[in-house]
Each structure stands twice: as structure tokens, then as C-alpha cells.
Amino acid sequence: MKIYTRTGDRGDTALFGGGRVPKTHPRVQAYGTIDELNSFLGRAITQVASEEIRDRLSSIQHDLFTVGSHLATPPAREGRARPPLPPMPEARVAQMEAWIDEAESELAPLRAFILPGGSNGAAELHVCRTVCRRVERMVVRLGPDEPECEAIIQYLNRLSDLLFTLARLENHRAGAPDVEWRKEESP
């Protein structure tokens, strides 16, 4: 099988399970941004010092591929069944909450807004967090057209919380302080 098909040369793409839409379609934007988030996570894994955090991020990467497959598959319509897909990683939401609680037990209480930065790994995780929030907004826009929309939004919302917390944990373990926002008055 060749990597190029030429079928998208005019600006449209095939959805899993049938149908074609413009590459600007909200569904394509959403699963494309899931892919972008997955790529940024791959880069973050190369920068994060903690093996435990790297392992957790690797699990998330596999989840995101599943989430992307659901977003790339339109709802079933009359005369067209939805193809079988791997199950949504809904149980991961509770696991991410446990990871957040575990990390927070090691961290000082949050007393200020945190700016992206600190160690290289933490800065990369903050980039992942912002891309995660962007894709969450895209999925919200899909709304009722997406059968698993509610589960995907919950997953992404918790993931962004986890990425923020892991960025703080990465800074803590690296001995790098979080970058706190200072409200400075204008001259």
C-alpha cells in the first residue's frame, strides 16, 4: 500500500466508515488536532525526566489514537452502519484523577496562577495542555453530531488537568520552580 493516494488532492478527505468531507470540516479539524496533541506528547516524552510520567504519557498517546478513530468516524446513518471501533478509554478518566491526586500529594498547594515554563519537560507539557484545551473546544463544537461527544469532552477536560499537574510535578522533581504570574501594574 502506498502512503499517497491522491484522493485528497482537491481538499477533501474520506471519513472512516464512508463519506467524504472538506478538510476544513469540524470533524477533520478535531481529529487532526488530536493527532497534533499526540505528536506534542511524543515530543514531551523525550523531554520529561521522570520515567513514571513518560509511561503515563505513553498510555495517553494510545488513548488519543482511539479517541481520534471515534472522531474520524461519522455517526451511523440509514443504510450505513458505523464500523467497529476500539472502545473509548472512559476508565482512564478515573485513573487520570488518581494520578492527579497522587501528584498533588507531592506538590506544594497551588497559590498563584502558573505560567508555562520551568524545566524543558514542564514547558513541553504546558504546550500539550494548551493543544488539549484547543481540541476540547473543537469537540464541543461538534456537539450532538458526535455520538461519544460527552465522553470525549470529559476525557480531554481531565487530560488537560493532568497535563497541568504533571508539568508542575516535572518542575518539582527537576528542582525548577513553577513560573508564577505576577500581576504588575502598567507604568
Rounded to whole angstroms, the Cα distance separating 113 from 181 reads 5
Residue 128 has a pLDDT of 98
Residue 28 has a pLDDT of 85
Q: Is the model more confident about 3 or about 174?
A: 174
To which residue does cell 501528584 refer? 103
Residue 136 has a pLDDT of 96
pTM of the predicted model as reported, rounded to 2 decimal places: 0.89
75 pLDDT above the threshold of 80: no
Q: What is the mean pLDDT of residues 39-57?
A: 97
Alpha carbon separation from 91 to 48, 63, 96, 152, 154 (Å, rounded): 25, 11, 9, 12, 11
Residue 183 has a pLDDT of 80
Residue 13 has a pLDDT of 72
In 3-state terms the chain splits into helix, strand, coil percentages (rounded to 5) of 60, 5, 35
Residue 149 has a pLDDT of 84
Residues 97-135: tens digit of each pLDDT = 999 999 999 999 998 999 999 999 999 999 999 999 999
Rounded to whole angstroms, the Cα distance separating 136 from 155 reads 9
Which domains, and CATH codes, for the chain?
21-74+87-178 (1.20.1200.10)
